[in-house]
Amino acid sequence: MTKRVVLIGHPVAHSLSGAMQQAAFDELKIDARYELWDRAPIALGDSIVELRGDEFLGANVTIPHKERVVPMVDRLTEEAQATGAVNTITREGKRLIGHNTDVAGFKIALDRIVGRQKMPRQAVVLGAGGGARAVVYGLIREGFQRVIIFNRHLHRAEGLVKHFGRSAAHMELRAMPWHDSIIEAELAKTKILINATSIGLTSDVTPVPAEALHGDLLVLDLIYSNTRLLRDAAAAGATTADGELMLLHQGAAAFTLWTGQPAPLDLMQAKLAEARAGGLRSAEGEPTGEPAAAAAE
Ligand code: NDP
Digit-coded pLDDT (tens) for 21-77: 999 999 999 999 999 999 999 999 999 999 999 999 999 999 899 999 999 999 999
Ligand 1 in reach of 253 Cβ (< 6 A) = no
Q: Provide the pLDDT confidence category of residue 281 given band limits of 50, 70 and 90.
A: very low
Residues with Cβ within 8 Å of 295's Cβ and at least 6 positions away in sequence, in order, are: 230, 240, 241, 242, 244
81 Cα to the center of ligand 1, angstroms:
20
Residue-averaged pLDDT of the chain = 93
Please name every residue paired with 193 in a beta bridge, in sequence order, or none if there are none. 124, 219
pLDDT tens digit sequence for 186-223 = 999 999 999 999 999 889 999 999 999 999 999 999 99
Q: Provide the pLDDT confidence category of residue 278 given band limits of 50, 70 and 90.
A: confident
Is 70 exceeded by the pLDDT of residue 119?
yes
Q: What is the pLDDT of residue 297?
A: 33
Q: What is the mean pLDDT of residues 148-153?
A: 98
Q: What is the pLDDT of residue 280?
A: 52
Per DSSP, the three-state class of 234 is helix
Q: What is the pLDDT of residue 283?
A: 47
pTM above 0.85, yes or no: yes
Q: Given the residues 66, 107, 191, 271, select the one marked as catalytic.
A: 66
Q: Decide if 218 contacts 224 (C-beta within 8 A).
A: no
Q: Which ligand 1 atom is nearest residue 246's CA?
A: 40
Rounded distance, CA 195 to CA 186, Å?
Answer: 14
118 labelled catalytic? no
Ligand 1 in reach of 131 Cβ (< 6 A) = yes
Is 90 exceeded by the pLDDT of residue 238?
yes
184 Cα to the center of ligand 1, angstroms:
20
201 Cα to the center of ligand 1, angstroms:
9
Nearest residue (CA) to ligand 1, atom 37: 222
Q: What is the pLDDT of residue 117?
A: 95
30 Cα to the center of ligand 1, angstroms:
32
Ligand 1 in reach of 196 Cβ (< 6 A) = yes
Is 70 exceeded by the pLDDT of residue 290?
no
For 151, phi then psi, to 5°, come to -145, 145
295 Cα to the center of ligand 1, angstroms:
20
Ligand 1 in reach of 282 Cβ (< 6 A) = yes
Q: What is the pLDDT of residue 209?
A: 96
Is 50 exceeded by the pLDDT of residue 111?
yes
Q: What is the pLDDT of residue 282?
A: 52
Select from 181, 85, 204, 81 the least CA-distant residue to 133.
85
Ligand 1 in reach of 201 Cβ (< 6 A) = yes
Ligand 1 in reach of 247 Cβ (< 6 A) = yes
